[in-house]
Amino acid sequence: MKLAFIIDPINKLDPCHDTSVAIMEAACVLGHEVWITQASQLSVVNSQAWAFLQRVELTPIELVSDRWVAANPWYQLGESINCCLETMDAVFMRTDPPVDTAYLYATYILDYIDQNKTLVVNNPSGIRSANEKMYALQFAQAIPETIVTAEKSVIRQFVDAKGAAILKPLGNKAGEGILFLQAGDRNFNSIVELSTQQGKIPVMVQVYLPEAKAGDKRIILLNSEPIGALNRLSTAGEFRNNMAAGGTVAKTEITPRELDICQQLAPTLQKDGLIFVGIDVIGGYLTEVNVTSPTGIREIDRFEGTRLGEQVIKWVEGKKD
């Protein structure tokens, strides 16, 4: 197959951590052509999506003393060519958030790929409909008590009633801008004013789950089926469990409650064309549905001895047979 990946600049990716690299590496190992581009290099010409693409060859990382080690250099790039994306068997949209204007325009361009010819992972309209915070709200039986608002008084009433809550910007990633709110905090007004840009931008506020101290579980779904999970743990002096915020990771298992959550999500994910998804679960509650560039498979592979990237590519092979 010929596979195109829309990613952030490859020289800024960590091959020992990045899930996009893991999937591209798996495609190379399985004998497929891998091409890369960036969202800014997409175009629409004659009502078709085009991109400046470069062929990339990757040297697989190796597990040495329980840690991944990459070659130096770990990738080689070919010449850039301008190519219609419908000549690819699949296109992976793997640009990191925030889902800003440039990101949204990239998804509009990807709408001009005929998905009867070329699979797009994830579906661009699905990405647009699935704000990674808001999307979870439709699964009312799975989420903790949550509000979304820009109104300071509404946030204060919620926090006073619950005692403690977590405030999340709707468009950030990797724990950026997440704040802990507590009833009676003298900084409350300033925190909310900064986060909502003086009441102009809504934020999500969720009841604080004490179980977060035991970790924040990331579960990877492929075509709505869970294929692996890891537990993320905060470091001393930090309440966020995100890896990008310095959190550590640990081996874990998927519980019956978490399997039930996956089953609750499955019909909606399939309807929206959201094939490769990472959900976050704390204490048996769904907190986020990550659809843009969910990560974690390098860590899961290290703990479980799996090759989840190859599992993803083999699933795509099956769709193209």
Q: What is the pLDDT of residues 211-270, one digit of tens each?
A: 998 899 999 999 999 999 999 987 655 555 555 545 689 999 999 999 999 999 999 999
Q: Rounded to two decimals, what is the model's pTM? A: 0.92
Catalogue the active-site residues: 133, 168, 218, 232, 240, 280, 288, 290
Q: Determine the pLDDT at residue 175.
A: 67
Q: How far apart are CA 32 and CA 10, in angstroms?
A: 19
Q: Determine the pLDDT at residue 177.
A: 85
The CB-side HSE value for 89 (13 A sphere, CA atoms) comes to: 16
| Higher-scoring residue by pLDDT: 234, 116 | 116
Q: Which amino acid is at 23?
A: I
> Each residue of 239-249: pLDDT tens digit?
555 555 456 89
Handedness of CA 46, 48, 49, 55 (dihedral sign): negative
* Arithmetic mean of pLDDT, 113-119: 96
Say if residue 78's pLDDT is above 90.
yes
Residue 80, strand partner residues = 54
